[in-house]
Amino acid sequence: MSDRTKQLQDLDRRYVWHPFTQMSDWEAEPPIVIERGEGSWLIDTDGNRYLDGVASMWTNVHGHCRKELNEALQAQVDKLEHSTLLGLAGEQSILLAEQLVAITPEGMDKVFYSDNGSTAVEVGLKMAFQYQQHRGAVNRKKFITFRHAYHGDTLGAVSVGGIDAYHEIFRPLLFTTIQAPAPYCYRCEMGENDPATCGMSCLKELGRLMAEHGHEVAGVVMEPLVQGAGGMIVHPAGFLKGVRDLCNIHGILLILDEVATGFGRTGSMFACQREGVTPDIMALSKGITAGYLPLAATMTTRAVYDAFLGQYRELKSFFHGHTFTGNPLACAVALASLELFKKDNLLVNLAAKIAYLEERLVGMSQLSHVGNVRSCGMVGGIELVRERSTREAYPWEEKVGVQVCQEARRHGLFLRPLGNIIVIFPPLAITPDELTFLCDVVEAAIRTVTEG
């Protein structure tokens, strides 16, 4: 290890507080210090290479340091680094809005920018709430949320979250919601073991909640097809469509959080397109700049937008905005990323990799300590259990997921687990050989830790 690496490690432990991290564990081990990126690989200050198995927190699409994206960023920085959208329009944010409207479902006509996934969701919540007020539905002040949901870490986003380990401590600061069960067939709270019946039971319960509370509900917030941070929980086909239909019956807005699923992750550009669903409000972030810069967009329909129009003195403006809204550098990279989707024929080429990942996961489902595997596009989740027959979980304190990821790291693969669920979420541009390597290392690491 070089002196420079040691020095950076020391400084990190002295000054940097890492997110979602028990810092006393962190301080006990010298961290890997990443210096460079190349395609699907991250390279540390000593030249060690790690395959980026989590696409740098689910953001990376075309690989690291992609020439075309670097050039777009360089070209923009020589023209303009930032100018505000409060009182001015911007070339790049205009062009990107046009593209976003073109690639999202018919009906998503307006783009409100912010800079991360949590704010994209917050904007969606406030937009839905204020919309209901403007249209005279003054009692529609609540939101229906789902168990296991994750929508970000600011207080509004936490309010609509459903992961007790992260969210419970903040409960006194949060607004209350009406929580519906999510189809988590592997640990079904509805007592169902078959995915389709599990989905039906959850829809039935959602319908019951809406019949009871519908008149006071502004919107339903959900992650379409797969609940990410909750454990890569994949919903049965038709569930999203069922939620949309129930929202229509009860006059409730559907707010889809596509922060993790958007931009090709599930195999189509947006997850909702897989079920032909158009939301009323849609939150986008993570993949939007292909992992380059913070940017988010909350999209909505003409109908929602129109409810905010009026005389200045009516105070119907949407009173929300962030300093770096519509940043030109981020928008320029986002535009270049959409070009690359076309140039690389990315979504078409993804199909074979998705099929391979699925096949390997099915293979891993036979391992003696794997309780369940699931996948949705280029997302995989492998749930480790102490006892396969009873699906008895490993006690979370044993950190079996963490151990598997540490073992993978020794073999050149960077992963981050969600409890005892191993998450596979590589850059979409990963090559078939790299994907093979990733699956080989994951499988070997699970065996070493759980059978060794």
Ligand X SMILES: *Cc1c(COP(=O)(O)O)cnc(C)c1O
Please, what is the minimum distance in Å from the beta carbon of residue 293 to ligand X?
12
Which of residues 165 and 348 has its CB atom nearest to ligand X in the complex?
A: 165
Please, what is the minimum distance in Å from the beta carbon of residue 450 to ligand X?
27
Helix, strand, coil tally for the chain in percent (to 5)? 45, 15, 40
Tell me which residues touch ligand X (CB under 6 A).
116-118, 121, 150-152, 223, 228-229, 257, 259-260, 285-286
Please, what is the minimum distance in Å from the beta carbon of residue 257 to ligand X?
5
Structure tokens at 382: 């492998």
Q: What gap in Å lies between CA 388 and CA 407, rounded to an integer?
A: 22
Q: What gap in Å lies between CA 158 and CA 150, rounded to an integer?
A: 8
Please, what is the minimum distance in Å from the beta carbon of residue 161 to ligand X?
9
Structure tokens at 63: 């690989």
Instruction: For residue 1, give the DSSP letter.
Output: -
Instruction: For residue 64, give the DSSP letter.
Output: B
Instruction: For residue 223, give the DSSP letter.
Output: -
Q: Tell me if residue 91 falls in helix, strand or coil.
A: helix
Which of residues 224 and 236 has its CB atom nearest to ligand X in the complex?
A: 224
Say if CB 405 and CB 422 are below 8 A apart: yes
- The residue whose Cβ lies closest to ligand X is 117
Say if CB 103 and CB 338 are below 8 A apart: yes
Which of residues 198 and 221 has its CB atom nearest to ligand X in the complex?
A: 221
Which of residues 110 and 148 has its CB atom nearest to ligand X in the complex?
A: 148
Which of residues 52 and 257 has its CB atom nearest to ligand X in the complex?
A: 257
Residues in Cβ contact with 232 at an 8 Å cutoff, skipping those fewer than 6 apart: 226, 374, 376, 379, 380, 381, 418, 421, 423
Which of residues 55 and 354 has its CB atom nearest to ligand X in the complex?
A: 55
Please, what is the minimum distance in Å from the beta carbon of residue 78 to ligand X?
28
Please, what is the minimum distance in Å from the beta carbon of residue 226 to ligand X?
9
Q: What are phi and psi of 110, to 5 degrees?
A: -130, 145
